[in-house]
Amino acid sequence: MQRTSPLIKRFLSYLEVERGLSRNTLLAYAADLLRLQNWASEKKQILRGLTARDIERHLGDLNREGLDARSIARSLSTIRSLYNFLFLENEVDSNPTIEVATRTNTRTLPRVLTEEQVSLLLSQPDTSTDLGLRDRALLELLYATGVRITEAITLRHRDLNLNSRFLLCHGKGNRERQVPITRQAIEWIEKYSATKTLGLRSINATLFLNQQKPLTRQYAWTVINHYALAANLIDVTPHTLRHCFATHLLENGASTPFVQRLLGHQSILTTEIYTRVSQLYLRRSYDKHHPLARCGFDHKMRLMEHKVRLVES
Q: Residues 58, 111, 226, 242: which is the catalytic one? A: 242
Q: Residues 111, 134, 239, 248: which is the catalytic one? A: 239
Phi-psi region of 225 (alpha: psi -120 to 50; beta: other; left: phi over 0): alpha
Q: Residues 148, 226, 243, 248: which is the catalytic one? A: 148
Active site residue 44: no
Active site residue 265: yes
Sheet architecture: strand order including 160-161: 160-161, 166-170, 176-180
Q: Residues 80, 111, 136, 265: which is the catalytic one? A: 265
Q: Residues 29, 83, 192, 274: which is the catalytic one? A: 274
238, 220 Cβ separation under 8 angstroms: yes
**Which amino acid appears at position 276 of this protein?**
R
Active site residue 157: no
Active site residue 64: no
Q: Residues 53, 103, 172, 299: which is the catalytic one? A: 172
Which positions are catalytic? 148, 172, 239, 242, 265, 274
